[in-house]
Amino acid sequence: MVASENTVEVSEFRHKLKANGQAFILESAVPDDKVYLKFEGVLNGEVVIWHACVQTIKAYSVNNPVDDDPKQFINVAIVDGLHKLDVALNIKQIDLPALERTIIMVRKYKRLTLGYHEYGARSKTE
């Protein structure tokens, strides 16, 4: 993605958030076991719009193999110029507080890089 296009896209996104009095844009209903949203963040020093899917590990395991003691994870990718973020959490349901905590975690993760990052064992976080 060209920097000038990204700058325009981020500016328009900020305007939309401000106009609606929101910190992020939900693209699906909550609570649920899988929620799609967009929010602003930083990757490699560049302000980006995250196109995120936050789901429970149980929901993730429906279509993906997992260990007996699966770990939570963040997967960061750039697909067709969009900054994709997939997060799987060891909670029973994704609700607004879980989304807010996830956004804070992503924004505070200063060394976030492309790729798959696991953390915590299920048995220790449930």
The CA distance from 118 to 115, in Å, is 10
Residue 117, C-beta contacts closer than 8 angstroms, at least 6 positions apart: 73, 74, 75, 76
The CA distance from 56 to 41, in Å, is 22
Residue 111, C-beta contacts closer than 8 angstroms, at least 6 positions apart: none
Q: Report pLDDT for 122.
A: 57
pTM summary value: 0.88
Walk along the chain (126 residues) in steps of 10 and give the mean pLDDT of each run: 66 93 95 97 93 95 83 94 95 96 92 89 52
SS3 81: coil
Q: Report pLDDT for 4.
A: 42
Q: Residue 88 has which token pair?
A: 């799987």
